[in-house]
Amino acid sequence: MSTSKPLFAFFDKARDDMRISSTHIGIFAALLKYRQERGFSNPIQAYSHDIMPLAKISAIKTYCRCLKDLSNYGYIKYEPSKKKNKPSTIYFPE
Q: Give the per-residue SS3 of the chain.
A: CCCHHHHHHHHHHHCCCCCCCHHHHHHHHHHHHHHHHCCCCCCEEECHHHHHHHHCCCCHHHHHHHHHHHHHCCCCEEECCCCCCCCEEEECCC
Q: Which pLDDT band, with edges at 50, 70 and 90, does 84 fall under?
A: confident
Q: What is the pLDDT of residues 27-68, one digit of tens each?
A: 999 999 999 999 998 999 999 999 999 999 999 999 999 999
Stated pTM of the model = 0.90
Statement: residue 1 has pLDDT above 70: no
